[in-house]
Amino acid sequence: MAGAKMARRSRQAPPLLLHLLLGFLLLVHVPSAAPQSFIGINYGDVADNLPPPSSTARLLKSTTIGKVLFADDATLAAQLVPALQNVYDALPPNSSIKVSTVNAMDVLASSDPPSSGAFKPALAAALDPLLAFLSKTGSPFLVNPYPYFAYQDDPRPDTLAFCLFQPNAGRPDAGSGLTYTSMFDAQVDAVRAALDAKGYKDVEVVVAETGWPHSGGADEAGASVENARAFVSGLVSHLRSLVGTPRMPGKSVDTYLFAVYDENLKPGKASEKSFGVFQTTLTETYPTGLMRNGTAGLAPAPAPTPAQKVPPASPPPATPQVTPTPPVQPGAAAASRHTRSAAESSRTFSALHLFACFGFMALLV
């Protein structure tokens, strides 16, 4: 594809972060024979001004958001696939629960044009066992594409339109004969091409994180409310259209937005704190097309308690679909755009955190 390079940098979680992907909730997303779009959202908690969990649950119930993804850390470097296998083996027989791991776009050695998508050979020792596990268990390959960072690498007007789902001339892929009109589709299809090249056409691609910051520093081109609104509302419309991607037409890719709220304690550049789709007052940061009632949010939440976290609670009666997902980015640390210090993260997989996630989602049902 001529023009901007399709950046492989992404807003990543720290190496080997355990994600708890809670699905099959009774809130919105239920099995259906008919094709449908699915949009979830990430719950980041690197903040000291978050509303009570009950208020957040009430807010999310007023939207068309179907699932919430939580995060906790784990140091599992050489134990990734064995750890995933242990979790899978502990599931009930014939369970529909999926076990997977999040990957940054940095796992790709090539992504432009999308048909050239290929994994880095140096990561084969880690990725090959993972892909085999995903194929065997019917679990998806989770990836974090961020068109925002592609625009950071090539801040031209035509690149911005390409990243924001706005009208543009399109970018042909000579290798496939397809034409792309959005960076999101190009990034997703590059991952699809890499999986196909490895012989894993049966492994589904799921977008575990994507978003656009609504503010940033003077050196962060494109971080604005207008661009964040254009990206998120454009993405929502694109997913709901069920048009799919050029390589995967007619199928909406399951996608999780980042994030529910801003994270005012997040280290790094100003934009890292500013991915919140909602404000802690329970109103939209900008129009997203996600609200059910056509309003901009709910009534103000009670005053938050500093450093408030999601409290532990008992699991809900229904059995949710849980996907523990530690992102594997061997060799990609230098390109990290989303790194937490040891002080901000326990680096352990906690059963307490698991129950906290269940407890929060119980409020949504």
| Whether residue 272 lies in the annotated active site | yes
- Residue range 277-296: mean pLDDT, rounded: 88
- For position 95, what pLDDT does the model report? 85
- Min mean pLDDT across 11-20, 175-184, 346-355 is at 346-355
pTM for this one? 0.76
- Residue range 291-298: mean pLDDT, rounded: 71
Query: One of 67, 98, 209, 273 is an active-site residue; which one?
Result: 209
- For position 164, what pLDDT does the model report? 98
Pairwise pLDDT comparison (256 vs 325), residue with the higher score: 256
pLDDT of residue 112 exceeding 80? yes
Query: One of 67, 120, 266, 273 is an active-site residue; which one?
Result: 266
Parallel/antiparallel/unpaired status of strands 205-210 and 141-144 = parallel
Specify the DSSP element, H or E, that contains 193: helix 183-197
CB 297 within 8 A of CB 283: yes
| Whether residue 226 lies in the annotated active site | no
Three-state SS string over 242-277 comes to CCECCCCECCCCCEEECCCCCCCCCCCCHHHHCCCC
The pLDDT tens digits of the residues spanning 339-359 come to 332 222 222 222 223 333 333
Query: One of 98, 120, 220, 272 is an active-site residue; which one?
Result: 272
- Min mean pLDDT across 102-111, 122-131, 135-144, 352-361 is at 352-361
Distance CA 242, CA 221 (A): 30
pLDDT of residue 35 exceeding 80? no
Query: One of 67, 120, 220, 263 is an active-site residue; which one?
Result: 263
What is the share, in percent, of the chain residues with pLDDT greater than 90?
55
- For position 4, what pLDDT does the model report? 46
- Min mean pLDDT across 53-62, 171-180, 315-324 is at 315-324
Q: How much is the mean pLDDT over the chain?
A: 77
- Residue range 141-150: mean pLDDT, rounded: 96
- For position 67, what pLDDT does the model report? 81
Compute φ and ψ for 70, nearest 5 degrees: -110, 165
- Residue range 265-270: mean pLDDT, rounded: 95
How wide is the angle at C-alpha 169 spanned by C-alphas 232 and 180, nearest 5°? 60
The pLDDT tens digits of the residues spanning 226-255 come to 999 999 999 999 999 999 999 999 988 999
C-alpha pair distances (Å), 274 with each of 21, 71, 118, 242, 246: 22, 18, 31, 29, 31
